[in-house]
Chain A
């Protein structure tokens, strides 16, 4: 464990008893490291153990085994000491429906000894000033989510944990949340965001951890993960793919038809493809390098590891890809 980690877990395990008295594994030996600073995406299919992990970190669920540390302090034992540095939104956080947004936050501010004047500041920060006096029950989903963010900001925490923060939000709301997360990270905060909207995470995250069946399957910088999964494939548009295919194959490259385009793999660079086809009198009308994105990396790593499937060791992750631990360093 080192002080440059905001979150660190080792061998974290959690099982749930089912009605038939058997136990289902939610988290199985999870080793998770979240570096201090920046936005860290926490990704995994539904039921992979993301929320359970977050709940364990916050002391809402007891872990069966393993250790957890927040800012190098062991939790849940030291949670009362470290909780002031951690703001969290777990799934859809709930507030008292009959209280106004301001009153809800004032009560929370009282619990942590924060100046009540800060309540209006954080409410303004999340754009709820006009509705602060309204009852929480009348808030839209987006407003509730923004109030939850305001609640986390009350502590001025060093670590913010957002569990599916964009659930139910419209595109504008999602963009706002993304901006908020990025802004916090730019101010030196650490943001852990669990989400299944991968392109959102890709846009905002500096590092990610991907889990499946309760185990870490990959971790590191987003660029590194995408880079590792990058291929040299290129989509090529030609007037007659049936003629172009054999020409490309003659170069030792693979060419398969994908719709009206040819997907060419093995070419050293796209320029060589145009050169070869032009030499054969075939002129390219479309040439698109196939780039790997976080979604493709995620799908590759978590293929067949949705909920209800049996836990599998990270060392035997799909396609032989090993988890890249500590890739952020």
Chain B
């Protein structure tokens, strides 16, 4: 088994498409770093000039207000007026300031969630379907005939192979954003930033592993990348989008909600609860009630889904002819 896993990892390492997907993931992370660079740039001369002008106009307005107020105060009508000058902001508050690191990191790493999961799914799918597509599986099975071992080693390699790519992309994103703040000489904020970030990353990586297992399982079941894509799109539209709208109580069955719950420490959904209207006979009063899916429940549902899909893939792989 270890030998097969080692060989599958070697194959994973040598697949150009998987490097391409990993490269795109890194590129996406780099994009967030570039955006941070833009967000944290010092105000330009034009922005400073515009801020100075806005400050001057407001200060002038305040001055005029005080003058006018004092004039009115001098009269009988305005002797009860409070003519203290309003609290004017300082000029620095008129100049755009960079966002806090916690906000920028949350935006960047949160934005990487979907690309990481899609990349993990795609890698799992591609790694398995390529072998069926190239018709090398038949050759392989004449050397390693235990199909369950072949499936396990291939899925294991997909999971192990996906993690470094996801980790590298997240490292580039987080490291890049922090580096931007250091280069700009900006405040890194409080330690709680890192606690939240660590929690998110340690939940995203297992989710990526689950996505790779899902991809491999689907690929073993249908053997064709286009067919897997079709199933994923159908699931997204029919189950993730339409089902909760038609039957809100089934929202906890969607992967999207459970994924959010797993990654964010819980997720809310609303259901309508109705009771008889005490004022009108036969009528009902309905209200939206928020319910919560916990992080552990979300993780469990994701894990069970991956296990079921992999089991289906294994069953099909064991029974179906290999050409």
CB distance from A298 to the nearest CB of B (A): 27
CB distance from B39 to the nearest CB of A (A): 41
A58 at the interface (CB under 8 A from B): yes
Given A95-B136, A151-B139, decide whether A55 and B321 contact each other with a Cβ distance below 8 A. yes
For A61, give the chain B residue with the smallest CB separation: B321
A90 at the interface (CB under 8 A from B): yes
B144 at the interface (CB under 8 A from A): yes
Q: How many chain B residues touch A (Cβ–Cβ < 8 Å)?
A: 25
Let me know if B145 and A113 touch, CB within 8 A.
no
Let me know if B138 and A60 touch, CB within 8 A.
yes
What is the interface residue range for chain A against chain B? 20 to 34
* Chief secondary structure at chain B's binding surface: helix
B-side contacts of A110, CB under 8 Å: 3, 6-7
Let me know if B319 and A96 touch, CB within 8 A.
no
CB distance from B323 to the nearest CB of A (A): 7
For A51, give the chain B residue with the smallest CB separation: B323
Query: Which of B4, B6, B16, B136 counts the most A-chain CB atoms under 10 A from its CB?
Result: B136
Let me know if A58 and B141 touch, CB within 8 A.
yes
Let me know if A96 and B321 touch, CB within 8 A.
no
CB distance from A288 to the nearest CB of B (A): 46
B285 at the interface (CB under 8 A from A): no
Let me know if B143 and A111 touch, CB within 8 A.
yes
* Chief secondary structure at chain A's binding surface: loop
Interfacial residues of chain B within 175-207, with CB under 8 A of chain A in the complex: none
CB 8 Å contact bits of B134-150 with A (1 = contact, 0 = none): 11101111111110000
Complexed CA–CA distance, A9 and B113 (Å): 55
Complexed CA–CA distance, A62 and B14 (Å): 32
Given A93-B138, A94-B134, A94-B136, decide whether A59 and B7 contact each other with a Cβ distance below 8 A. no
Complexed CA–CA distance, A99 and B11 (Å): 9
Let me know if A60 and B143 touch, CB within 8 A.
no
Interfacial residues of chain B within 97-147, with CB under 8 A of chain A in the complex: 134-136, 138-146
For B134, give the chain A residue with the smallest CB separation: A94
Interfacial residues of chain A within 48-70, with CB under 8 A of chain B in the complex: 55, 58-62
Of B7, B134, B142, B319, which one neighbours A88 at CB under 8 angstroms?
Answer: B142
Let me know if A99 and B321 touch, CB within 8 A.
no
Number of A-B contacts (CB under 8 A): 69
CB distance from A147 to the nearest CB of B (A): 10
A-side contacts of B319, CB under 8 Å: 62
CB distance from A27 to the nearest CB of B (A): 13
Of A88, A97, A111, which one neighbours B144 at CB under 8 angstroms?
Answer: A111
Complexed CA–CA distance, A155 and B143 (Å): 9
Let me know if B14 and A76 touch, CB within 8 A.
no
Given A62-B321, A107-B11, decide whether A90 and B138 contact each other with a Cβ distance below 8 A. yes
Let me know if B136 and A96 touch, CB within 8 A.
yes
B322 at the interface (CB under 8 A from A): yes
For A148, give the chain B residue with the smallest CB separation: B139
B10 at the interface (CB under 8 A from A): yes
Complexed CA–CA distance, A99 and B10 (Å): 11
For B8, give the chain A residue with the smallest CB separation: A107
CB distance from B21 to the nearest CB of A (A): 16
Let me know if B3 and A83 touch, CB within 8 A.
no
CB distance from A18 to the nearest CB of B (A): 15
A108 at the interface (CB under 8 A from B): yes
Let me know if A96 and B134 touch, CB within 8 A.
yes
Interfacial residues of chain B within 287-319, with CB under 8 A of chain A in the complex: 319
Complexed CA–CA distance, A103 and B7 (Å): 11
Let me know if B145 and A76 touch, CB within 8 A.
yes
CB 8 Å contact bits of A69-83 with B (1 = contact, 0 = none): 000000010011001
Of B3, B16, B135, B323, which one neighbours A111 at CB under 8 angstroms?
Answer: B3
Complexed CA–CA distance, A99 and B138 (Å): 17
A112 at the interface (CB under 8 A from B): yes
A199 at the interface (CB under 8 A from B): no
Let me know if A95 and B139 touch, CB within 8 A.
yes
Extra contacts besides A83-B145, A99-B14 (11): CB < 8 Å: A55-B321, A60-B138, A60-B321, A60-B323, A61-B321, A79-B145, A94-B135, A96-B14, A103-B14, A110-B7, A111-B143
User: Could you name 16 residue pairs across A and B whose Cβ atoms are closer than 8 Å?
Assistant: A55-B321, A59-B141, A60-B141, A60-B323, A61-B321, A83-B145, A93-B139, A94-B139, A96-B136, A99-B14, A107-B10, A108-B140, A111-B3, A112-B143, A113-B3, A155-B143
